[in-house]
Amino acid sequence: EVQLVESGGGLVQPGGSPRLSCAASGFTFSSYDMHWVRQATGKGLEWVSAIGTAGDTYYPGSVKGRFTISRENAKNSLYLQMNSLRAGDTAVYYCARGRGSGWYFDYWGQGTLVTVSS
């Protein structure tokens, strides 16, 4: 059974730099693209970052230069290093397994809430 479990969320001060983790199981982690998607409370989904099987990374303009996605295949783990956080980054952050051939997300974690507030 595919499982994705995020951790690392919590209350963060503006300007803070938390790192989120996603523990994957039930599939060959190294063979899949992985993504982070976020959702502010009561708002829609926003794609945040992607990492390919070769470690290539991609970001939308809203987080480029502040967020860094990485993976550690030996530990079946995905990470999101977030820097210079601001109130607008407050959201539930989901990790999702990508299907590169069609660019869609077939499995999602339960999410971890990051609240940016002083």
Partner 1 sequence: QSALTQPASVSGSPGQSITISCTGTSGDVGSYNFVSWYQQHPGTAPKLMIYEANKRPSGISNRFSGSKSGNTASLTISGLQAEDEADYYCCSYTGRNTGVFGGGTKLTVL
Residue 30 phi/psi, 5-degree rounding, is -65, -15
Told to check if 27 binds partner 1 by CB under 8 A, we report no
With CB under 8 A as the contact rule, which of the stretches 7-15, 24-32, 45-53, 75-83 interacts with partner 1? 45-53
Q: Which two tokens stand for residue 105?
A: 């997300």
- Exposed (0-12), middle (13-18) or buried (19+): which is 33, by Cβ within 10 Å? buried
Q: Which two tokens stand for residue 112?
A: 């971890």
**Within 82-111, which residues bind partner 1 (CB under 8 A)?**
94, 99-100, 102-106, 108-111
Q: Based on the shown chain and the rule CB under 8 A, indicate whether residue 18 belongs to the binding site for partner 1.
A: no
Smallest gap from residue 28 Cβ to partner 1 (A): 18
Rounded-to-integer distance, Cα 54 and Cα 34, Å: 11
Contacts with partner 1 by CB under 8 A lie at 33, 37, 44-47, 50, 52, 56, 58-61, 94, 99-100, 102-106, 108-111
